[in-house]
Chains A and B, each alone.
Chain A
Amino acid sequence: MNKTPKEILLEQHHAVAPKLDHLCEDVLVTELGAGPFYLKLWNELIWPSRRAWAGLAAIWVVLAVMHLASGRNFPQQSYNPQIIAANWRAQQQLFVQLVSQLGSISARSPTPAAPPPAPDKSAGAFIGNNAVWA
C-alpha cells in the first residue's frame, strides 16, 4: 500500500497526540481563561506558587502529626459517654444535697434581731456638755 510522505511523517507521532491535546488545553486555560474552574484555579493560584503551597502543606502535615502524637497522652476514658453521664448524675446529686442542706439551715436559724438605734449625736453632745458643766 502506497503512502504520501505526509502520512509517513505523521504516522509515527500518533502516540504523542494525547500529550498534545493536554498541552493545547493548558494553553487555552492559561492564555484565554478557558476550561473548568478547578483547572483555572490550579493554573493561576496553585501552580505558579507551587513551592510555597507545598511548604504550607508540609507544615500542616507536621502539625497534624504532632497533634496526633500529643493526643495519645490524654486519658481517653473522659470521652466515654457512660462516664460523662455518671459524672453528670453525681454532680446533680451533690447539687440537690447542697440545696437541701441550705434549706434546713435557713429553717433552724432564728430571725436576726433588729439593729440597735443609732445614738443621737446632738443629745450626746448636750449631755457631754452638761457633764463638763457639772
Chain B
Amino acid sequence: MPTVAEPAPLPVAQARAGAPEAWRVLFRRYQLPLYAYLYELVRHEQTCLDLVQETFIRAVRHLGTLRDDAKFGSWLFGIAHQQCLQHWRKSGREDFVGDDLPDVVAEDDGPDQILIRFEQAVEMRAFIARLSIPQRSVLVLYFLEDFPLEDIARVTGAPLGTVKSRLHHAKRALKKLLEKTS
C-alpha cells in the first residue's frame, strides 16, 4: 500500500520562542492562501496586502495567546478575518454581518472533492463573487485550507450550525453550476 508523505510539522513552538527563521517558514506557508482569502472578500490588491501585513504583525505579537499549536492556521485566518471586519467597519460597509439562509444542516453533501475543468474556472470565480460575503467566506476557507467546520466557525465567529448551512448551500449551488456548464 503506498504511503503518502505527511507534511512537515509547522515550527510554531520555535516561532513562539522568537526564531525569525521559523516565522519565515510560517509566513511562506500562509501568505498566498491568506491573500487569496482576503482578496475574495475585499477584491482590492493594496488593501489585501495591507491586511496580510497587519495579520502577520498581530500574529507575531500575540502568538503567546495560541493554546494549540496545531490550530495555528485557523488562528491566523481568524486574525485576518477580524482585520477584514475592522476594515469594513471603518469604511462603513454593512453587508458582511449575515445572511438569511435557513439554518438547515444537510447530513450528506456528496463527495467533497470537487474538480473543475479549465473552461469552468472563470465561472467558478464568478460564482464565488456572487455569493453573500458570509457564504463566500465559509466556502473559500473550506476550499483553501480544508479546515474542519469547527475551525471555520471559529475563524468567522459564526455558530457551527450556521457555518454548516452556509457551506451546504454554497457547495450545492456550485455543483449545480458545474453540472449545468459541463
Q: Which residues of B contact A19 (CB under 8 A)?
A: 49
Give the Cβ gap from B133 to chain A, nearest Cβ, in Å.
16
Q: Kindly list 5 other residue pairs between chains A and B, CB separation below 8 angstroms, not including A19-B49, A32-B18.
A: A8-B125, A16-B35, A27-B56, A31-B57, A34-B23
The A-contacting residues of B in range 119-164, CB under 8 angstroms, are: 121, 124-125, 128, 140, 143-144, 146
Instruction: Please name 19 pairs of A and B residues whose Cβ atoms are closer than 8 Å in the assembled complex, sorted by A.
Output: A1-B118, A2-B115, A2-B118, A3-B118, A4-B115, A5-B143, A8-B116, A8-B121, A10-B32, A10-B36, A13-B39, A17-B32, A19-B49, A23-B52, A27-B53, A28-B20, A31-B61, A32-B60, A34-B23
Verify if B11 is at the interface (C-beta below 8 Å from A).
Answer: no
A31 engages B60 (CB within 8 Å): yes
Q: How many chain-A residues does the 8 Å CB contact rule pick out? A: 27
Give the A-B contact count at a CB cut-off of 8 A: 88
Verify if A121 is at the interface (C-beta below 8 Å from B).
Answer: no
Verify if A70 is at the interface (C-beta below 8 Å from B).
Answer: no
A23 engages B53 (CB within 8 Å): yes
A27 engages B35 (CB within 8 Å): no
B117 engages A2 (CB within 8 Å): yes
* A21, B35: Cα distance in complex, Å: 12
Q: Which residues of A contact B116 (CB under 8 A)?
A: 2-5, 8
Query: Considering the complex of A and B, which 3 residue pairs feature the smallest CB-CB distances, nearest first?
Result: A34-B20, A24-B27, A2-B115
Give the Cβ gap from A39 to chain B, nearest Cβ, in Å.
12
**B interface with A by C-beta (< 8 Å):** 18, 20, 23-24, 27-28, 31-33, 35-36, 39-40, 45, 49, 52-53, 56-57, 60-61, 113-118, 121, 124-125, 128, 140, 143-144, 146
* A6, B116: Cα distance in complex, Å: 10
**A interface with B by C-beta (< 8 Å):** 1-6, 8-10, 12-14, 16-17, 19-21, 23-24, 26-28, 30-34
A28 engages B23 (CB within 8 Å): yes
Q: Tell me whether chain B's interface is mostly helix, strand or loop, or mixed.
A: helix
Return the chain A residue nearest B114 by Cβ: A5
A3 engages B45 (CB within 8 Å): no
Give the Cβ gap from B12 to chain A, nearest Cβ, in Å.
15
Q: Which residues of B contact A23 (CB under 8 A)?
A: 31, 49, 52-53, 56
A5 engages B124 (CB within 8 Å): yes
* A36, B179: Cα distance in complex, Å: 54
Return the chain A residue nearest B121 by Cβ: A8
Give the Cβ gap from B38 to chain A, nearest Cβ, in Å.
10
* A32, B22: Cα distance in complex, Å: 11
A32 engages B143 (CB within 8 Å): no
B60 engages A20 (CB within 8 Å): no
Q: Which residues of B contact A27 (CB under 8 A)?
A: 23, 27, 53, 56-57, 60
Q: Which residues of A contact B60 (CB under 8 A)?
A: 27, 31-32
Return the chain A residue nearest B171 by Cβ: A5
